[in-house]
Amino acid sequence: MEKMNKPTLYWSLLKFKDWNFHIASTTKSLVFIGSQYKPFEELVKWATKHFPGCPLVEDAEKLEPFVVEITQYLDGRRKTFTIPFEYVGTPFQLAVWRALCDIPYGQTKSYSDIANDINKPAAVRAIGAAIGANPILITVPCHRVIGKNGSLTGYRGGLEMKTWLLDLEKRVSLNIE
């Protein structure tokens, strides 16, 4: 009998105001937050690559703890996350994603800053690629990375979403409603 221990990935469509994005978890950890307005296929493609052969099961109840914290963040009522999340990537990507999690709420860093933070100062382009591969938008705050000159740069969720998230954090940090 060849039964591999493949985790089930549970997913749900998170709806916040006029945004919709798919999220997914294992039984223990959040593993994916999709881009706003992207179809379910975005999640399927990612899951096929990173969790091959694992079933995708829609289960809003299992995702509820994650939805609560993400929604609280989007409402400006949460600055940090306590939900467990799991990175699925290369060692280099993991180092970049951990560095992203060290960027304080309401602040930004450049790609060069992240490269220096992980002791890879010449890897700025690779840093950009790793950030672009971040599977857990919002909770792994890649939206806090901007160009060295302060310009907004690419974001898997789209520049509209990135701008909105940065503005939210700025307003909350300054206590502006």
Residues taking part in catalysis? 142
User: Which two three-digit tokens encode residue 67?
Assistant: 């939805």
DSSP assignment of 125-158: HHHHHHHHT-SBTTTS-GGGEE-TTS-----TT-
Give dist(CA 97, CA 7) in Å, integer.
23
CA-based torsion, 36, 133, 107, 112: positive or negative: negative
What is the Cα 12 distance to its own chain's centre? 15
